Amino acid sequence: MALIVHKYGGTSMGSTDRIKNVAKRVAKWHDAGYQIVVVPSAMSGETNRIIGLAKEIMADPDPRELDMIASTGEQVSVGLLAIALQALGKKAVSYAGWQVPIKTDSSYTKARIASIDDAKVNADLAEGKIVIITGFQGVDELGNITTLGRGGSDTSAVAIAAALKAQECLIYTDVDGVYTTDPRVVSEARKLNTVTFEEMLEMASLGSKVLQIRSVEFAGNYRMPTRVLSSLTDPLMPLAEEIISGTLISFEEDTNMEQATITGIAFNRDEAKLTVFGVPDKPGIAYQILGPIADANIEVDMIIQNQSVDGKTDFTFTVPRGDYNKAMDVLNASVKEHIGAGNIIGDAKVSKVSVVGVGMRSHVGIASQMFRTLSDEGINIQMISTSEIKISVLIDEKYMELAVRALHKAFELEAA
Ligand code: ASP
Ligand code: MG
């Protein structure tokens, strides 16, 4: 019998009425002959609320205790959903992460899954039970409760699906799929029927916040077909329709992809750029500049080093805007101390816009089309970076939406 994992986000679990709707949907799938494991999030707002309580007491609470608190939101959800299913006459059982167990490392508030035991769950499924497992949490070697980072229930669901060798992992959420770009920026954005996990990884890391990025990595590593679909539809809608709704995150060779050149336009509003002028062009400089930034736990994204003139060069990189001030302080200290470079300047009002698509592998001229489009709009490109399936540019934040709209049009993404 085919096993399907369902994941429901906070909005979908947001009230007892919504939980009853989730139960109806799950029961419908079960009636159709599927084995079902459900991985819900906490009710919407709940994780923020309980973490907020801890922060009322202390600004920077002990991460172990934070996880003890944060993990309880999901525990309420699974119990409520089990009751809702039982009220419909289904056999259902809920488990916290430690009961399965879902073992993780001990990095509280951002733990990584190490292993998932399938024995208990498989035994329940064999008895015809619907199994409900908390998202977001696990247990470390010493028996401490851990959490996987905000939005971590997505990762729990895909990891559980992989461990149980499910046929598909369905992520029910408050949007009905993955779009060519954010429909709030481009109203003509189109829902994609399929997207490859590599494209999804780029889109997720570039700011399309539909899924936690680690869940997409899991889907890729374990080749778990994962579908994003709406939980706000009629829970009793015909299964045949529901099965093909949303966006399937799949594998290039498994699908006859629409083979558009470009799949989507991703963007990230909140970037910042730092430049060190006149650094000596000699071995070890990039390391001396970026080492302290990494030590301060700041993620560096784009990097450019110029051609050197008279033995000196300029070095520019980007960081998340929230880390800008910290990065500036670290840079000032380390550059003054070790490198003896000239000025440091920064700009915290830059955004990144990217065109993404596996079709890029087999088409030439994507970059020039992108640059021509931006040039036609009079938008200056400050930095460029590329991968096999993506071209990103850094631009002034005030032109970001204009750039996204112009590129969406130029690559004809609204066309069906
Ligand atoms: N409840 C957790 C959070 O809000 C995990 C999740 O919803 O995915 O971050
Ligand atoms: Mg979420």
**pLDDT tens across 34-71, in order?**
999 999 999 999 999 999 999 999 999 999 999 999 99
Which segments of the chain belong to CATH 3.40.1160.10? 3-175+210-250
Other CB atoms closer than 10 Å to residue 264's CB: what's the count?
Answer: 28
- 403/307 Cα distance (integer angstroms): 28
- The neighbouring-strand residues paired with 397 are none
Rounded to the nearest whole angstrom, what is the distance from the C-alpha of residue 308 to the centroid of ligand 2? Answer: 46
pLDDT at 181 over 70: yes
The answer to whether 178 and 195 have CB atoms below 8 angstroms apart is yes
Pocket test for ligand 1, best of 137, 146, 150, 213 (most atoms within 8 A of CB): 150
Vertex 91 angle, CA 86 and 96, to 5°: 85
- 228/380 Cα distance (integer angstroms): 35
pLDDT at 258 over 70: no
Pocket test for ligand 1, best of 6, 11, 46, 47 (most atoms within 8 A of CB): 47
Rounded to the nearest whole angstrom, what is the distance from the C-alpha of residue 73 to the centroid of ligand 1? Answer: 9
Of 350, 347, 354, the C-alpha closest to 395 is 350
Q: How far is CA 294 from the centre of its chain?
A: 21
- 156/162 Cα distance (integer angstroms): 10
pLDDT mean over 105-113: 96
Tell whether domain 264-410 is in CATH 3.30.2130.10. Answer: yes
- 139/151 Cα distance (integer angstroms): 17
Quick one: pLDDT at residue 35?
98
pLDDT mean over 188-209: 85
Query: Which ligand 1 atom sits closest to the C-alpha of 48?
Result: 4
Does 225 sit in the ligand 1 pocket, CB within 6 Å?
no
Rounded to the nearest whole angstrom, what is the distance from the C-alpha of residue 386 to the centroid of ligand 2? Answer: 28
The per-residue pLDDT for range 122-166, each reduced to its tens digit, is 999 999 999 999 999 999 999 999 999 999 999 999 999 999 999
- 226/124 Cα distance (integer angstroms): 23
pLDDT at 24 over 90: yes
Of 38, 20, 17, 15, the C-alpha closest to 84 is 20
Quick one: pLDDT at residue 415?
67
CATH for 3-175+210-250 (3.30.70.1880, 3.40.50.720, 3.40.1160.10, 3.50.50.100) = 3.40.1160.10
- 415/259 Cα distance (integer angstroms): 13
Does the global pTM surpass 0.75?
A: yes
Sign for the CA dihedral angle at 288, 293, 295, 296 comes to: positive
Does 150 sit in the ligand 1 pocket, CB within 6 Å?
yes
Of the pLDDT bands very low, low, confident and very high (cuts 50, 70, 90), residue 207 is low
Query: Torsion over CA of 51, 56, 60 and 66, rounded to 10 degrees?
Result: -30
The per-residue pLDDT for range 270-309, each reduced to its tens digit, is 999 999 988 888 888 888 899 999 999 899 999 998 888 8
221, HSE (Cβ side, Cα atoms, 13 Å): 12
Quick one: pLDDT at residue 307?
84
Question: Which protein residues have a CB closer than 5 Å to ligand 2 (ion)?
Answer: 9, 151
Does 72 sit in the ligand 1 pocket, CB within 6 Å?
no
Does 10 sit in the ligand 1 pocket, CB within 6 Å?
yes
Q: What percent of the chain has pLDDT over 70?
A: 95
The per-residue pLDDT for range 325-377, each reduced to its tens digit, is 999 999 998 877 766 667 899 999 999 999 999 989 888 899 999 999 999 99
Of the pLDDT bands very low, low, confident and very high (cuts 50, 70, 90), residue 254 is low
pLDDT at 416 over 80: no
- 202/192 Cα distance (integer angstroms): 15
Crossing angle of the two packed helices 213-221 and 153-163, in degrees rounded to 10: 10
Rounded to the nearest whole angstrom, what is the distance from the C-alpha of residue 174 to the centroid of ligand 2? Answer: 9
Quick one: pLDDT at residue 129?
98
Rounded to the nearest whole angstrom, what is the distance from the C-alpha of residue 66 to the centroid of ligand 1? Answer: 13
pLDDT at 6 over 80: yes
- 323/303 Cα distance (integer angstroms): 16
Rg (Cα) of the chain, in Å, rounded?
24
Of the pLDDT bands very low, low, confident and very high (cuts 50, 70, 90), residue 174 is confident
pLDDT mean over 178-202: 92
- 411/260 Cα distance (integer angstroms): 9
Ligand nearest to the CA of residue 48, numbered in listed order: 1
Rounded to the nearest whole angstrom, what is the distance from the C-alpha of residue 179 to the centroid of ligand 1? Answer: 22
Which segments of the chain belong to CATH 3.30.2130.10? 264-410
Does 173 sit in the ligand 1 pocket, CB within 6 Å?
no
Atom 8, ligand 1: residue with shortest CA distance: 151
The per-residue pLDDT for range 388-410, each reduced to its tens digit, is 999 999 999 999 999 999 999 99
